[in-house]
Amino acid sequence: LIFKRHIEQVNNLSEIQALRRLSPHPNILMLHEVVFDKKAGSLSLICELMDMNIYELIKGRKKPLPEKKIKNYMYQLCKSLDHIHRNGIFHRDVKPENILIKNTLKLGDFGSCRSIYSKQPYTEYISTRWYRAPECLLTDGYYSYKIDMWGAGCVFYEITSFQPLFPGSNELDQISKIHDVIGTPAKKTLNKFKQSTIMNFDFPFKKGKGIPPLVHNLSPKGFSLLYAMIKYDPDERIAAHQALQHPYFQEFWQVTSNHFKNTPGQVPLHLWQISKESQKQVIF
């Protein structure tokens, strides 16, 4: 009976639930087996073998990646995020170390994931600091799946420049680094955040300097998408399904439209709607 209870507890872990729900998908790491050692009380997840993660790919690299490769990686990352969001899950820790590559790119490490439909507030100190969205830093856990897009935007910059976009040394410095680049937000945005926190903050006006000029291999359309991913206000930030329709990814549209039998720039509505029954299955 005790062992059976252990098995039930293992099966109820959000990471295992998420990986089982999201697989198979070409851009989600495949879970092959769960090994539970009753004696040691340890749990191991056996996943497919990948070559490296994005951090390992760019670490110490001197020569920039071709934009074609960057675009391919970002398209696959947006596909993975679109898939998990459609299935009612958000990752909450999108960063280079959790994005794996072999022949294709796959999103892994769902240990921090949550259901989009679970009740707020969520854990405040989620996500690695450099990839943490403003709403995570400035509210008491009132954020949404849009934090994944902020993290993806930070990754986008990093695989292009080999430097982190917002390398804050602490929470306050993190906000300061964000303001250095995109400026202080409009008052209405800050007021919206203030409604979801007991913190009292008031930032002096700062005009952002823009994305640091370390990016030489990104087209204007690429910059346009990057800025859309790091919008301060999550309501204005681009969603994954919208990012896939951005002109930066135009060369991939034909494949997508053939797959969905749909014209580029449109997403079939039924693919974005999730039934109430499905919502109940992903509340963790």
Segment 223-274, tens digit of pLDDT: 999 999 999 999 999 999 999 999 999 999 876 555 544 433 333 433 334 4
For residue 49, the model assigns a pLDDT of 94
**What distance in Å separates the CA atoms of residue 244 and residue 225, rounded to the nearest whole number?**
10
Give pLDDT, residue 169.
Answer: 92
Domain-wise residue ranges, the chain: 50-281
Dihedrals φ, ψ of 74, to 5°?
-70, -35
**Using CB atoms within 10 A of its CB, is residue 21 exposed (0-12), middle (13-18) or buried (19+)?**
middle
Res 5: pLDDT: 45
pLDDT for 248: 96
Low-confidence stretches of the chain (pLDDT < 50) are 1-5, 11-12, 260-284
Q: Which superfamily, per CATH, for 50-281?
A: Transferase(Phosphotransferase) domain 1 (1.10.510.10)
pLDDT for 272 equals 37
What is the model's pLDDT at position 205? Answer: 86
Nearest C-alpha neighbor of 152 from the set 165, 169, 136: 165
Residue at token pair 């087209």: 219
Which residue type is seen at 254?
A: Q
Of 82, 93, 109, 148, the catalytic one is: 93
Residue 233 appears among annotated catalytic residues: no
What are the beta bridge partners of residue 31? 47
Predicted pLDDT of residue 274: 40
